[in-house]
Structure 1
Amino acid sequence: MNKKENLRLLRRRLGLTQKDFIGRFLSDEEGVPSMSVATLSNLESRGGPRLNDVILMAADALQIDSMLFSMKPEEFIQRIDILLPGGQDVDDIRSNAVKKGKIDQLLYRLTMYFAERLIDKELKKGDKIESDRVLAKKMNVGRSAIREALKVLDVLGMIDIHPGQGTFISNDEASFFIIPLSWSLFLNGGQVEEILTVRNLLEVKAAELSAGCRDAGGLERLGDISRQMKQSYEKKNQKEFLEYDIQFHGCIAECSGNQVIFSMIQTINSLMRHITDTGMADSLQLKELYQEHQKIYGRIIERDSSGAAEAMKEHLERSAARYNNR
């Protein structure tokens, strides 16, 4: 409901007819449109399976987060007014986005290329990679595009660029497997229910693993957060309590000892904060949340793996029911 309304709001905010919108954002470099005016009109009024594709293309062209389209329309238009002050020149946005889209695609291709070589043991952490000339030939792109993409991978911590020496696989080679998974989640941000299912499965497993945690520092941090949640609950400070709630789940993921689970939960939670409202409605729900978190913490401290997993599963199911009944 929000997406189709927000797509229409964006088009009108840019002062474009449906035909103009297709020409700006839904056509290839030769100007061939990917859909008709009738199709776009139908998507704006009724939605449909191609709605997400249109949103992703427009968001990429405008260099904005596609998750914004899931906001309430009144919030969406306020955010767009901030991101597009004074009405940007859509021709400039479109031409700049072509380059951006190609770099994004190249980043993903390079990431998967290096990841596959790591899996096949052709590379290991600290190894020097091919020159930009060789990579450009393999990826069938220009050397300047390769150099720009490599700079991004360097910032992400996946590679280390040493001027005059070469480019090397980072010592933290796990990044090559975690970041593509994270990208996949963000690219499919419209599939909220599916993402929540994955998140819940990971949360339950994290709680189970945390009960066997041998990291004394991690368990101590979890205990500190649990005590802070109790203080916030006793003060009836709802906002503070919910902030500790997020930290509590993040700490459990960290105590699981599984870096992929930790990274995926952090990624999903970041995504969900863009598109959902987590505020609770009343003090009764706050009490239920407090009791459920205390139960999870108790099972973890008791090193009851199955009990911790069950307590987390029950908490997530009850949280979903609370949210749906609001």
Structure 2
Amino acid sequence: MDYILVTGAAGFIGFHLSKCLLDQGYSVIGLDNINDYYDINLKYDRLKELGVKRTDAEEYNNLSSSTKFDNFKFIRLNLQDREQLPNLFKDYNFSKVCNLAAQAGVRYSIDNPESYIDSNIVGFLNLLECCRHNNINHLIFASSSSVYGQNDKIPFSVEDNVDQPISLYAATKKSNELMAYTYSHLYGFKTTGLRFFTVYGPWGRPDMAMFLFTDAIMNERPIKVFNNGNLERDFTYIDDIIEGVFKIIDKGTLSTDDKYALYNIGNSNPVKLMDFITEIERKIGVTTKKEMLPMQPGDVTRTWADVESLKKDYNYSPNTSVTKGVGEFIDWYKQYYRKNKNI
């Protein structure tokens, strides 16, 4: 049986992608180290949605079968494990690999640089080596809009120069792109990088703006608004992201001699931060206090994705409005925390 390997399967995007692939009949092995960067209970609950028992998922290097999907198995493993990751590739025939595992977060990278090198550089190199030595046809991997830094040309294009990252997180993601290009050039397997733009939606990460704002408002705390609210983000709903990633996995690379491809994947419709906050307040029915703060180190003023090449090559069509996306997240938040925390 051929499997697709999805790393970061207990994470926000990895969970949604795994579920999408399973619903479409693909066989998936999900990998995650379940680190404590944010609440691990949320990660285990995502896996529970995929039919993996927490007691099974807690064991390191234990391949757990799903009780919900016959075609899903989960393994808790670090990407940088140079003994066990190669063994996993030897034991299973992966038709494709989708790497969504990474140490995420721009601000966290300022105080915790080592974890970014370990996961995003050493771990990614280990994954590339496994792909090289096991005849993997196609590696799809997550990059980030953070690589654009303070780029003032809009919308952001993959043709733009991104040689001046302003956070270590961004530097590691740019490094991933360079490493993937080199391996494609040297060893002939195909790699596709995806620069994600501000993904939000149900089961989202607690360190992201959508979650932080909602959590603060629901718990009657003021929200922190950086750069005095003078920010714009290309907020992209999770379903639109998954649509794009799935099409690349399902269709594969285009019939071209170029082994390496790079795309932006976003909504291509930037929204002012204050308008985004207003929509959250409207949905919840509360106008909250706002703590206006200066710009944070490593942050950028605006993001805006040029996604024309992804539309052209894969018929990508993001169409979820902020109104709908915000509503879906808040409905999930209320249901999830009412169930788990009795609020």
- Does the alignment reach a TM-score above 0.5? no
TM-score relative to the length of structure 1: 0.25
TM-score relative to the length of structure 2: 0.24
Q: Could you say which structure has the higher strand fraction?
A: 2
